[in-house]
Structure 1
């Protein structure tokens, strides 16, 4: 097994980039035409759909894969019990705090946007925390009475955290066998083998359970897919040879991923259903090949170009988790409040993005990272000396 004391800077950097991409994606959801979201701007763009499609097939699988990689380091350092306690603190506390404090403004602005309530946040909270169902389509989760909105990633990750413990314990007791297997991965193993379970999920689970329902319960297609990526991340990061192989294949992977995306657009936007025999099955394979090749291309480029101790990385590695928790609430509020100013399709999203970044930066820098209680509530480690922090090989947050 690869030495747990050797920090993988590329995993840290990819995690920062993945969450940064998530912030931009959520901003885009307010402006992309024909796609629903919590609060939509009056300025819509059909062209934006192509940009969104280019990343939405693999952005969340990348986050779960990176989380699986981080889990490998955590489990190796802390053991079963310590790992579970650490993850419960890191995931459950921010989830509960987020649902009680961070997320409710999103539901408020969504209900305002839908014309369900009158302005008045305190009145909204009084009803919101009665935990009673709201009128249909008041806001995401209104049929239940409350929501976790963009924090849905945390309960899903919490499930996989619990599920990985017996697997990780089993593999830790068979380290030489695991090392030989992972180190012996060939190009065709990386390119083709993961497509088999993904295609089977698409053939048998998706027709029955559909896409993600964001509620954890009964979401078996999503669980099968995301836990597979989570497990792949756990396995891949345990040995260096697969990453060296990916680095050598990076140009091929970028070309193959781009070709798959063009085929994806061909089937999604151009060809009519039933144009030729087997079209639906071929389309299914293209969807998962596009998803997997982009993941491999991102991992390959990350390992080749980002596996070094950038000066900005320690700060960004800590900041990215609270930024993830905070960003969507700031974005939703900014979109709603700026909507009456008629800023236009270019100026408005620029202002919204600037407000989101400034809000996350100020709240994190002046409050969260300096107040021990807020560090706990937002999933950060307790304050330690700089030297001890620099030696810690475990990625922060998720």
Structure 2
């Protein structure tokens, strides 16, 4: 499979920034008051709910949309849908299995120990975890299944959507499929800001109240159509220059409208009675798509250049994604051994951020990227072998004018 000749630097940068936001969001989950998580800090803060909710509405949709764009580039060089599915399985499911047994196991241990569901001793826990339990009910997130994927749920979801779209590619390339894609990419002005939001509004109003998020793959009747739709949008728009120019043109209008809709959503949720709960849901769905449109437009206008850090970020983002939450939980687990008033609500999160970022950097640059056998376990392609120095041979008879 050959890479697409025109590298989209804005997509690469947006992917890296989206996962950086994910790290900060999961760090915030340890501190936001009233939201359940694997561990909770004694310094939980009520005010964090506002910024957390502000980004929570679109953060994973952005990740899936960018993944759909990347899938569009990958599918251009695929010789068959089954070959594409096999490649996606290798890049997504192998890290998932490794991550479930090795990377996230400490998260499960720390959560179960914090709840008093197990006795201390990580070695004994791992023997039981490798055997699939059993565990006391609710010992940790996913304990009913014996083992857990914690924050790695994105990998099986992405594989399912990639496999489904790969199987649909022949239909997508039929005239009817091409017309549908062309109609989407031909949207301009208010139509681009409204019409793609309509399916998201439908899911939010009809499916959202009936199917709460589970991230267990089998019972996400609301999140699956939502995420697959934005994944499909990404696939459609990935290589169309016209829609990207239009998103860049509309970036300021979309940003202002997104901020207004976010404010409206918070106001409606705070003051509208339960019988009118569909109103904040409507504002939420509209805000979701228009925020994505603003982010895409701003990224295309300001990030589409070969930043010096992009090459490093492109190869680091996958291992950082896999490692970050375990490092947050491990850091919180050990910092919690200090008296609560020793670190305080400023120094503790600062130390936890340093532990997380420093740990991701050390493990990725110092270990994962250097060891060929570790690279595929963290979703990385094999490192190119260093070229062997050529032995001197006879001088060519003619070197050409460029020599």
Question: With structure 2 as the length reference, what TM-score do the two structures score?
Answer: 0.90
Aligned length: 380
Match of 1:41 in 2: 41
**Residue aligned with 2:208, SS:** helix
Residues 1:386 and 1:117: Cα distance change in structure 2 (over 3 Å): same
**Residue aligned with 1:139, SS:** coil
8 A contact 1:31–1:41 mirrored in 2: yes
Alignment of 1:99-178 (within 5 A): 99-174=100-175, 177=179
Match of 1:197 in 2: 199
8 A contact 2:193–2:254 mirrored in 1: no
Measured after TM superposition, the shift of residue 298 of structure 1 is 0.7
Instruction: Flag the structure with more relative contact order, 1 or 2, with Cα contacts below 8 A and sequence separation at least 6.
Output: 1
Listed one character per residue, the Cα deviations across residues 338-366 of structure 1 (whole Å, up to 9, x for unaligned) are: 01223111110110010000101000011
Measured after TM superposition, the shift of residue 78 of structure 1 is 2.3
Find the structure with the greater CA-based Rg.
Answer: 2
**Residue aligned with 1:207, SS:** coil
Listed one character per residue, the Cα deviations across residues 114-138 of structure 1 (whole Å, up to 9, x for unaligned) are: 1222221001111112213311221
Tell me the distance in 1 between the aligned counterparts of 2:92 and 2:168.
Answer: 20
Tell me the distance in 1 between the aligned counterparts of 2:360 and 2:268.
Answer: 39
Measured after TM superposition, the shift of residue 183 of structure 1 is 4.3
Listed one character per residue, the Cα deviations across residues 85-129 of structure 1 (whole Å, up to 9, x for unaligned) are: 221111000000000100110000111111222221001111112
Q: List structure 1 segments (4+ residues) > 6 angstroms apart after TM superposition.
A: none
Residues 1:227 and 1:183: Cα distance change in structure 2 (over 3 Å): closer
Match of 1:346 in 2: 346
Question: With structure 1 as the length reference, what TM-score do the two structures score?
Answer: 0.91
**Residue aligned with 1:134, SS:** coil
RMSD: 1.8
**Residue aligned with 2:144, SS:** coil
Listed one character per residue, the Cα deviations across residues 255-274 of structure 1 (whole Å, up to 9, x for unaligned) are: 00100110011012233434
8 A contact 1:41–1:336 mirrored in 2: no
Measured after TM superposition, the shift of residue 194 of structure 1 is 1.8
**Residue aligned with 1:33, SS:** coil
8 A contact 1:134–1:144 mirrored in 2: no
Tell me the distance in 2 between the aligned counterparts of 1:254 and 1:386.
Answer: 46
Match of 1:396 in 2: none
Match of 2:294 in 1: 297
Measured after TM superposition, the shift of residue 200 of structure 1 is 1.7
**Residue aligned with 1:340, SS:** coil
Tell me the distance in 2 between the aligned counterparts of 1:81 and 1:222.
Answer: 26
Residues 1:65 and 1:334: Cα distance change in structure 2 (over 3 Å): same
Tell me the distance in 1 between the aligned counterparts of 2:29 and 2:250.
Answer: 33
Structure 2: gaps (5+ residues): 388-403
Tell me the distance in 1 between the aligned counterparts of 2:49 and 2:324.
Answer: 22
Alignment of 1:299-314 (within 5 A): 299-314=296-311
Residues 1:316 and 1:193: Cα distance change in structure 2 (over 3 Å): same
**Residue aligned with 1:24, SS:** helix
8 A contact 1:179–1:238 mirrored in 2: no
8 A contact 1:179–1:239 mirrored in 2: no
8 A contact 1:43–1:345 mirrored in 2: yes
Measured after TM superposition, the shift of residue 213 of structure 1 is 1.0
8 A contact 1:33–1:45 mirrored in 2: yes
Alignment of 1:60-71 (within 5 A): 60-71=60-71
The reply on whether 1:324 has 2:326 as its aligned counterpart is: no
Match of 2:400 in 1: none
Listed one character per residue, the Cα deviations across residues 190-225 of structure 1 (whole Å, up to 9, x for unaligned) are: 1111222112212332233x2221111132211111
Tell me the distance in 2 between the aligned counterparts of 1:357 and 1:200.
Answer: 39
Alignment of 1:263-282 (within 5 A): 263-274=264-275, 279-282=276-279
8 A contact 1:107–1:139 mirrored in 2: yes
180-189 vs 50-59, which deviates more? Answer: 180-189
Structure 1: gaps (5+ residues): 388-398
8 A contact 1:19–1:324 mirrored in 2: yes
Measured after TM superposition, the shift of residue 375 of structure 1 is 0.6
